[in-house]
Amino acid sequence: MDRYFGFKEHGTSYGREAIAGLTTFLAMAYILFVNTDILSATGMDPGAVFTATALSAAIGTLIMGLVANYPIALAPGMGLNAFFAFSVVIGLGIDWKVALFGVFVSGIIFIIISLFKVRELIINAIPAELKYASAAGIGLFIAFIGLKQAGIVVADEATVVGLGHMLKPTTLLAIFGIIVSVILIVRGFKGGIFYGMVITVIAGMVTGLIDPPASIVGPVQSLAPTFGQAFNLDWSEVLTWKLLIVILTFLFVDFFDTAGTLYAVANQAGFVKDNKLPRAGKALLADSTATSVGAILGTSTTTAYVESASGVAAGGRTGFTSVVTAALFLVALFFSPLLAVVTEQVTAPALIIVGILMASSLKLIDWNKFEIAVPAFLTVVAMPLTYSIATGIAIGFILYPITMVTKGRAKEVHPIMYVLFFVFLGYFIFLSE
């Protein structure tokens, strides 16, 4: 095992890798509860989603560790789960089984483009500004959902949205959770989001706002309500423009989210040489395989987690770190009774914090160039305002070629962007009928 993972080569040891694996797990354990909370809004069985989340994270992370030998963990992605639940199922009215099929197909396409190494073509086709804007827009969308769950933002007939009742006990609990999480992260605590949720739950139980769980450890929840449901659907709902756009969006967001995360974490670990990421193909293949497997199990897109950087900071340098993290996700299967105490007020702070972190990509956009600023800005604001990630991406992809051609920079626009212009234009025409 020492030779397989290259402990001596990377100057690490079993103990250091094990601690790094535990650190990564604690930093991202919140996804077990947050993903369950988000996907259950579609009508999916919470217990089955919890099991699917843990299993997909364990399988994907194990593949990443054993095949790509990277200390990078995977799990159902934040943003993608919100898109799945609120944009696709609730917004477009697509059945969650059909949406899971869309996730599965996007994973298969990802596998194919990873095998044939066409990722460079796709990356170069879409301008960096739209990638940054999409990430930031998803962050605002997630934060908006969190503020809504916390009761800080509420519906208002006069102004569409307004400030909620800030002295409402459950809202105060959510605000407490936000403050605690922020303090922990500012102070540099690894897994600050997870610990913030734990402290919020304790505060909720002490104040009587959250009922204590009947138990902490229990049997593994049945996967039956979601397992294989991606193929138990009305096939007439599959061959539609709506689902095509959904698949393309899943693919787009997952592709660039994964590429960015892999590069960032690998660079922190010192793996990047001459701006190239070694074993990138294997890492992308692990990610895409996990997405398809996760869809079969019953969860939204599985992707690489930037929280893996916390494990790298703790000394993780090989895939053994990922193996440890995967094992801990399997152990977590027995803690499903804790779902009862993870209310919307507990998950809201996590959503808001993740949204803040994702919004940091705004600084990478060149706001001084109006032809760039227009599609980027409207991509960002359209996501929370229309309650749809797909709409934001579509608006940006339509406006970008227009502003660039108007500016006289038509030659800088990749041909694929012109194709996507007509695809998304057709999407809006279809929705308007």
Select from 296, 297, 358 the least CA-distant residue to 329: 297
Region 204-219 average pLDDT: 91
Q: pLDDT-derived band of residue 378, with 50, 70 and 90 as boundaries?
A: very high
Does pLDDT of 263 surpass 90? no
Tell me the CA distances in angstroms from 314 to 75, 91, 190, 321, one per residue in order. Answer: 20, 41, 9, 10
Number of Cβ atoms within 10 Å of the Cβ of 77: 29
Region 203-207 average pLDDT: 95
Region 74-82 average pLDDT: 89
Tell me the CA distances in angstroms from 157 to 150, 315, 316, 384, one per residue in order. Answer: 19, 53, 52, 18
Select from 69, 56, 48 the least CA-distant residue to 28: 56
**What pLDDT, on a 0 to 100 scale, did the predictor assign at position 408?**
95
**What pLDDT, on a 0 to 100 scale, did the predictor assign at position 431?**
63
- Encoded tokens for 293: 């497997």
Q: pLDDT-derived band of residue 433, with 50, 70 and 90 as boundaries?
A: low
Residue 125: partners with Cβ closer than 8 Å, 6 or more residues away? 414, 415, 416, 417
- Encoded tokens for 388: 């749809």
Region 331-348 average pLDDT: 88
**What pLDDT, on a 0 to 100 scale, did the predictor assign at position 406?**
96
Distance (Å, rounded) from C-alpha 295 to C-alpha 251? 13
* Residue showing tokens 């604690």: 26
The DSSP H or E segment spanning 76 is strand 74-76
Number of Cβ atoms within 10 Å of the Cβ of 141: 28
Distance (Å, rounded) from C-alpha 350 to C-alpha 66? 30
List pLDDT tens digits, range 5-55.
988 888 888 888 999 898 889 888 889 999 999 999 999 999 999 999 999
Return the minimum-mean-pLDDT range out of 81-85, 189-193, 299-303, 346-350: 189-193
DSSP single-letter state for residue 333: G
DSSP single-letter state for residue 75: E
Distance (Å, rounded) from C-alpha 85 to C-alpha 99? 9
Q: Give the length of the chain.
A: 433
In contact, 354 and 178? CB cutoff 8 Å: no
Three-state secondary structure along 290-330? HHHHHHHHCCCCEEECCCHHHHHHCCCCCHHHHHHHHHHHH
Q: H helices within 332-369, ranges in order?
A: 344-358
**SS3 state of residue 277:** coil
List pLDDT tens digits, range 86-111.
888 998 888 999 999 999 999 999 88
* Helix, strand, coil share of the chain (percent; to 5): 70, 5, 25
C-alpha dihedral, 308 to 313 to 318 to 322, nearest 10°:
-30
DSSP string, 111-171: HHHHHTT-HHHHHHHS-HHHHHHHHHHHHHHHHHHHHHHHTSEEEETTTEEEE--TTSHHH
- Between 215 and 272, whose confidence is greater? 215
- Encoded tokens for 144: 């908006």
C-alpha dihedral, 72 to 75 to 77 to 80, nearest 10°:
140
**SS3 state of residue 5:** helix
**What pLDDT, on a 0 to 100 scale, did the predictor assign at position 224?**
95
Tell me the CA distances in angstroms from 379 to 40, 81, 118, 286, one per residue in order. Answer: 27, 19, 26, 30
Region 252-274 average pLDDT: 71
- Between 327 and 424, whose confidence is greater? 327
Percent of the chain past pLDDT 70, that is, above it, reads 95
- Encoded tokens for 255: 């592709």
Distance (Å, rounded) from C-alpha 104 to C-alpha 223? 17
**What pLDDT, on a 0 to 100 scale, did the predictor assign at position 307?**
81
Average per-residue pLDDT for the chain: 87
